[in-house]
Structure 1
Amino acid sequence: MKKRRLSFWEIWNMSFGFFGIQFGFALQNANVSRIFETLGARVEDIPILWIAAPITGLIVQPIIGHLSDKTWNGFGRRRPYFMIGAIFTTLALYIMPNSPSLWIAAGMLWIMDASINISMEPFRAFVGDNLPSEQRTMGFAMQSFFIGTGAVIASALPYILTNWFGISNTAAEGVIPESVKLSFYVGGVVLIASVLYTVLTSKEYSPEELAAFEEEKEKSTGIKTVIKTPVTSGQFMKRGVIWTLIGIATTFIIKSFRLAEDNGQLYIISGLLLVFGLILIISGLITKNNNRPQGMVGIMNDLLHMPKTMGQLAVVQFFSWLSFYALWIYTTPAITQHIYGTTDSTSLLYNQGANWVGVLFAVYNAVSAISAFLLPVIARQIGRKATHSIALAFGGVSLISLFFIKDPNMLVIPMIGVGFAWGSILSMPYAILTGSLPADKMGTYMGIFNFFIVIPQILAASILGFITRELFNGQVILTLVLAGCSLILGALSLSIVQDKDDVYKLKR
C-alpha cells in the first residue's frame, strides 16, 4: 500500500490556502514597523516590539503540531486548525491598523502571529501526510509559489492603492494612513477565502491509512522506524539543571558587564534559557509519576530525540532566519534613512520610501514564486543541499550590495537574489527534513522544527537594536549587511547536513 501520486491540480488545491496565509503574513512584515513608527516607536525599539511574533511561534507551533497529530474527526486531521487560525487572523487584520496606541498595536501583532501559526504549522505537515516521497519537493515548492504570489500582492498593496486608486498615503501624526488600513481589510477577506478553498477541495488520509503506508515503506526498504526509549526523569532533571545554570550565568554576565543598560531586551535571552531549563525540570518531575510521554512532556521527549538531520538543519535555519528577520524589521528604516535621507515618519518622503519598500518586498516575493518551480528542477540535477547552498549565498551577496546602492530603482536588482534565497528557504529545508520524520509525529516534529526558525528571530530581536545603536552608530543599512553575512554562513553550514531522501542521490 503506497500513497497515491497526486495530480498537479490536487497539489495546487491543497497548497492554495498558503496564498491567503502569506497574504496576511506579508502585510504584517511590510507594514508593522511602519505602524509602530507612526505610533511613536523609535527605530532601536522596533526589534523588541516584534519579539511577540517569534515567541508566539515558539509556543504555538509545537503544541498545534502535537494536537493535530492526535486529531481525527469529520473535518479531518489538519484542516480544522487551518480554519481556526484563519478566522482569528482575519479578525486581527481588521483590528491591527486601527490600534489607538503603540502597545495595543504590539499586542495585536502577538494575537495575529499566534493565529497565523495555528494555520501555518499544519500546512507543512499536510504535505508530509498526503504526498509520496518523490512528490514532496514539488509539494513544498508549490507552497512556496503561493507564499510568493500572496506576498507580492500584499507587499505592494499600499503602493497600488495610492498610485492606482488615489487612496491617501499620509495621515496626521499618530494616525495610520488609509492605504495601509484598506490593505489590511482586503487581506482579511483574501485569507479566509483561500483557506476555505483548500479545506473544501482537499482530502486527508486517516491515521490507519498513514500507519499502513509506514508499514509498507518498512517492508519495501527494509528500514524500520527506530522507537527510542523515552527520556527518563533523571535525564530530564539533569539537562534541566544544566540549562537553568546556563540561563543564570547568562543573566549574571549581562548584569556584570552592564550589557543591558538602555537595552533590557538582552534579558529575554537569559530568560528563555531559564524557562527552557525549568520546563525540562518540570518534565522530569511529571515523568516520575507517569512514564508515558504525553502533552508537554511528550513534546520535550521528541525534542531531545529529534532526528539527526533535523539537528544539522537547525544550524542552517539559524543563520537563514536571523537574516530574514533583520530584513523584515529593518528594511523600511534602512532604506528611508540610507536612500531617502529621512527618519521623519510623518513626511511625504518617508512614506514614499516606505511604499517603495513594499514594492521591493513584492519583487523578492515574486522571484521566490517563480523560483518555486525552478528549484525542484535544479535539485534533480545537483541535489537539494547544493541548490539550497547556492540560493543562500546568492541572497547573502545581494543583501550586502544594498549598502553600495543610492538609486531607489536599482534596489530591485538585489531583490532578485533575496527572492531566490527566500524561495529556497521555504521549500528545501522541509523537503530535506520530511524524509527523516516518522509519519505519526509529522506535525509534532514540524512544530519543533519551528524552534530553529523562531530562536534566531528572538535572538535578533534581543540584540539587533543594541548592535545597530552601539556598533553601527544608528546606520541601519549596516544591519542589513550583517544579515547578508549571516545568509552566507547558512550556505556554508549546509556542508554538515545529511539528506538521505534526495532524488538526486538515489539517481546516482
Structure 2
Amino acid sequence: MQTQQPKLSFWQIWNVSFGFLGVQFGFALQNANVSRILSDLGADLHSLSLFWLVAPVMGLIVQPIVGSASDRTWNRLGRRRPFILVGAVAAAIGMLLMPNAPLFVAFMVPMLFGALMLALMDASFNVCFQPFRSLVSDMVPPSQRNIGYSVQALLINIGAVIGSILPFVLTNVVGLDNTARVGEVAPSVVWAFYLGATVLLGSVIWTVIRTREYSPKEYYHYKGVDAETVEQEHGQKLSPSQRLKAFFNLITTMPKTMAQLAVVQFFSWFALFIMWVYTMPAITQHIWNVDKKWFDPAYIATVAAVPENIIAAKGAAGDWVGILFAAYSVFAAIFSVFLAKLADRFGRKLIYSLSLALGGMSYISFMFFQDLTPVDVNLLITQVTVPAGAVNLLLPMLGVGIAWAAILAMPYAMLAGALPPNKTGVYMGIFNFTVAIPQIIAGLFSGLILSTVFDNEAKYIIVVAGLSMIVGAIAVFFVKEPDHLPPPVVE
C-alpha cells in the first residue's frame, strides 16, 4: 500500500467540497432573509436576535454529536457522506416550509411556525457543515490543506452570492412581488427558498456520488494510526455518564492551538452574527431613511395601515441586503483564489489578522456612507433606482468579503494540523462551540444593547461588530501553530 496519502487533482478537491455550494446557497438565503421574514411575520428589533439564537444553539448541540458519530461511522456511503446527505434532505424540507408559515395559521402563530422551521433548517445545516469540514481534512493531504480549504471557501462564496441575490433577481428580472403585508411573506422570497432547496439537494448529491472516501484501513494507514487500536476504542461499550465524561475530557485536553483560535473565533463570529441580524434594519433606517418606529410592532398596531412608501422602502432595502451580502461573497470568492498562495508566502497568521482588521474597519465605515440622493444603478441583469448611500456601501463589502474568506478557511487550515487523526470529526464538532457560543452571547445581548444603549438605531450596533472584529484580528497573533501532526488520542 502507498505509504503517503495521495495528492488529489484540483477537480477531486473541487468535488469533495462541491456540496458546500448548495449548503451555503441555503444558508445565504437564510442569512439575508430570515430577519426580513420574521419582521414581516411580526417580530420586533429586540426579539430578532433572540430568534436568531436558534442557529448557534443548534450548532452547539448538533455538530459535536454528528462529529463523534461520523468518526465512528463506516458504511457503503463512507464515513462523512451519510450525514451530509441526511442533513441536506432535512434542510431542504425546512426551506420549503418556512416561507409558507402563514399557511399554517390554523395550527399555530405564523411567527412561531417560522421559528420552528428556522430551527429545522439550522439543525440540518449543521448536520452538513461538520462532516464537510472533516471530509476535507480526511481526503486532502497536509501539503494541499491550504488549497483544500481555499477551494471550499470559494465554493461557499459562489453559493452565497447566488443565494443572496436570488430574491432581488426574482423581483427585478422575473417580476415577482417583493413586498409583504404584516403576517405575510413576499412571493420573491418564497420562490427563492424553493429554488434554494433544489440547488442544495443537487449539489450535495454530486459530492456524495463523485467522492470516494477511504476505507478504514486506507485512512488509518495514511494518517499513521493503528487501526486495531482505534477499532477497539470504538468497540468499547460506555455508559452515558462515561461518554459524557470522555467528551468533557476532550474539551479540557483540547490542543493549545484550538484554545487560542477560540478567542479569535469569539470576536469574529460575534461580529458576523450582528451583521446578519441587523444589516436589514440598519440600512433601512440609515440609507432608506425609514424611521425606527416602523420596526416597532406596538407602534404599528396603533395605526390603521402601514404607509405604502414604508412598505416599498422595506422591500427595496431587504432586496439590497441581498445585493450587499452577494457583494461580500463575490469579494470573498475572488480573495479565496489567492488566499492559499498568500498564506503560503506570508504565513497564515499575518493574512488572517490583516483580513479581520480590514473587515472590522469596513463595518465601522457603514456610519459614513449615508446619502439619500436617488441614483440609477445598472446591475447588468436589471436597472434599479436606490439611494446613493446604498451603492456606496458596496465599498466596505470588499473588506467584509476578505474577512469572511479568511474566517472560512484560515482557522480550519490552522486547526487541522493540530488534531489527532482519529478524533478529527469530534474535535471539528467541538470547535464549532467557538462559532456557536459567540453567536449565542450576541443573540442574548445585542438586542438589549440596541434597545437600551442605542435606542433602536441599528447602525450603531454595526459599529460594535466592527470593534469586535478588530479585537479578533489582534488575537490572531497569540495563536501558536503546531510543527507536526499530533499523535492519535486513545481513551
| Range class of TM-score, shorter chain | 0.7 to 0.9
Q: What CA distance in whole angstroms lies between the structure 1 residues aligned with 2:483 and 2:208?
A: 29
Secondary structure, aligned partner of 2:177: coil
Match of 1:153 among 156, 159, 162: 162
Cα drift, residue 292 of structure 1: 10
Alignment of 1:268-347 (within 5 A): 295-342=243-290, 343=292, 344=294, 347=311
Q: What CA distance in whole angstroms lies between the structure 1 residues aligned with 2:247 and 2:85?
A: 24
Secondary structure, aligned partner of 1:83: helix
Alignment of 1:22-101 (within 5 A): 22-100=24-102, 101=110
Q: What CA distance in whole angstroms lies between the structure 2 residues aligned with 1:54 and 1:114?
A: 9
User: How many equivalent pairs are there?
Assistant: 435
Match of 2:335 among 371, 396, 400: 371
Judged with a 3 Å threshold, the aligned counterparts in structure 2 of structure 1 residues 116 and 290 are, in CA distance, closer, same or farther, namely closer
Secondary structure, aligned partner of 1:498: coil
Secondary structure, aligned partner of 2:223: helix
The reply to whether residue 129 of structure 1 matches residue 129 of structure 2 is no
The reply to whether residue 356 of structure 1 matches residue 304 of structure 2 is no
Identity %: 46
Cα drift, residue 299 of structure 1: 2.2
Cα drift, residue 216 of structure 1: 7.9
Q: What CA distance in whole angstroms lies between the structure 1 residues aligned with 2:325 and 2:419?
A: 33
Q: Deviations over 1:110-163 (max 9, x none)?
A: 111000100110000001111111111111111111110101011011111111
Contact 1:392–1:487 (8 Å) recurs in 2: yes
In structure 1, what is the equivalent of residue 306 of structure 2? none
Letter in 2 for 1:61: Q
Q: Deviations over 1:251-296 (max 9, x none)?
A: xxxxxxxxxxxxxxxxxxxxxxxxxxxxxxxxxxxxxx96998643
Letter in 2 for 1:66: S
Letter in 2 for 1:160: V
Contact 1:20–1:150 (8 Å) recurs in 2: yes
Cα drift, residue 435 of structure 1: 0.1
Judged with a 3 Å threshold, the aligned counterparts in structure 2 of structure 1 residues 51 and 291 are, in CA distance, closer, same or farther, namely closer
Contact 1:293–1:301 (8 Å) recurs in 2: no
Q: What CA distance in whole angstroms lies between the structure 2 residues aligned with 1:6 and 1:114?
A: 31
Cα drift, residue 399 of structure 1: 0.5
Q: What CA distance in whole angstroms lies between the structure 2 residues aligned with 1:357 and 1:403?
A: 16
Contact 1:394–1:417 (8 Å) recurs in 2: yes
Contact 1:17–1:191 (8 Å) recurs in 2: yes
Cα drift, residue 210 of structure 1: 2.3
Letter in 1 for 2:151: M
Letter in 2 for 1:454: A
- Structure 2 gap ranges (5+): 103-109, 296-309, 371-388, 485-491
Q: Deviations over 1:299-329 (max 9, x none)?
A: 2221111001000000000000000000000
In structure 2, what is the equivalent of residue 202 of structure 1? 211
Contact 1:45–1:465 (8 Å) recurs in 2: yes
Alignment of 1:231-270 (within 5 A): none
In structure 2, what is the equivalent of residue 266 of structure 1? none
Give the TM-score normalised by the residue count of structure 1.
0.83
Letter in 2 for 1:320: S
Contact 2:87–2:127 (8 Å) recurs in 1: yes
Match of 1:435 among 407, 410, 417: 417
RMSD of Structure 2 on Structure 1 (CA): 2.0
Letter in 2 for 1:4: P
Secondary structure, aligned partner of 1:204: coil
Letter in 1 for 2:257: T
In structure 1, what is the equivalent of residue 351 of structure 2? 387
Contact 2:225–2:421 (8 Å) recurs in 1: no
- Structure 1 gap ranges (5+): 218-224, 231-288, 503-508
Letter in 1 for 2:287: I
Q: What CA distance in whole angstroms lies between the structure 1 residues aligned with 2:176 and 2:453?
A: 40
In structure 1, what is the equivalent of residue 120 of structure 2? 111
Secondary structure, aligned partner of 2:393: helix
Moved more, 464-473 or 77-86: 464-473
Alignment of 1:220-235 (within 5 A): none
In structure 2, what is the equivalent of residue 173 of structure 1? 182
Contact 2:180–2:311 (8 Å) recurs in 1: no
Contact 1:2–1:216 (8 Å) recurs in 2: no
In structure 1, what is the equivalent of residue 19 of structure 2? 17
The reply to whether residue 467 of structure 1 matches residue 449 of structure 2 is yes
Secondary structure, aligned partner of 1:173: coil
Q: Deviations over 1:57-114 (max 9, x none)?
A: 0000000000000000111000000100000000000000011211111111111100
Q: Deviations over 1:349-368 (max 9, x none)?
A: 11101111110000001111
Contact 2:40–2:181 (8 Å) recurs in 1: no
Cα drift, residue 212 of structure 1: 1.5
Give the TM-score normalised by the residue count of structure 2.
0.86
Q: Deviations over 1:340-399 (max 9, x none)?
A: 111547610111011111100000011111111111111111100101000000100001
Contact 1:16–1:146 (8 Å) recurs in 2: yes
